[in-house]
Structure 1
Amino acid sequence: MAISEPTAVFSIRNDKDQEIKQVMQLVYGALEEKGYNPVNQLVGYILSEDPTYITTYKNARSLIRRIDRDDLLQALVRDYVRNG
């Protein structure tokens, strides 16, 4: 009888959510440092997909544009439901 090892679970979703979280934290911080209300700016960006809501400071605009808006919304809703 062979000793079996537990199966490793590979999840692209978890990796993608982690990437989104990191980008959001960086963008939020850059907006805050520049004196903007990060929540208002991010909501404006999400609703309109207009990148001018996001500052170019610390490459924030470029970073957030790498994330698909649908993926971003899904991650935000998932996190909100899980963590209240």
Structure 2
Amino acid sequence: MVDKQHTVQFDVIKDKKDMTKMILTDVYNALKEKGYNPVNQLVGYLISGDPTYITNYNGARALVSKLERDDILEEVLKAYLEIK
């Protein structure tokens, strides 16, 4: 039963972070399954913007195109530096 007395909170920033992580994980796994070096392929994509660095396997190219490259870099940098 849904409690209609309390307001549901929506956290856009957390949802964006979670979505970015989920998509990058799926793309990483698709690249790995196809025998590519996922880190090299993702770096190539992030630097060039050329989606052909990402395989079509398991819809990885379509998934990564849902994200802006600068948003990906922002989340990766935050995670690397362990910034919340």
TM-score range, shorter chain: 0.7 to 0.9
C-alpha separation between the residues in 2 aligned to 1:9 and 1:40?
38
Question: CA separation in 2, counterparts of 1:22 and 1:53?
Answer: 19
Alignment of 1:53-72 (within 5 A): 53-72=53-72
Q: Which runs of 5+ in 1 are unaligned?
A: 1-7
Note the residue ranges of structure 2 that are not aligned, 5 or more in a row: 1-7
Q: In the TM superposition, what whole-angstrom CA distance separates every residue of 1:8-63 from its partner, at most 9, and x where no partner exists?
A: 86421111010000000000000000000000000000000100000000000000
Q: Report the Cα distance in structure 2 between the residues aligned to 1:30 and 1:75, rounded to whole angstroms.
A: 20
Count of residue correspondences:
77
TM-score normalised to structure 2 length: 0.85
State TM-score, norm by structure 1. 0.85
1:11 aligns with 2:11: yes
Give distance in 1, aligned partners of 2:12 and 2:79: 16
Structure 1: distance between partners of 2:65 and 2:38: 16
- Larger Rg computed on CA atoms: 1
Could you tell me how far apart the structure 1 residues matched to 2:11 and 2:76 are? 18
Runs of at least 4 residues off by over 2 Å = 8-11
Identity %: 49
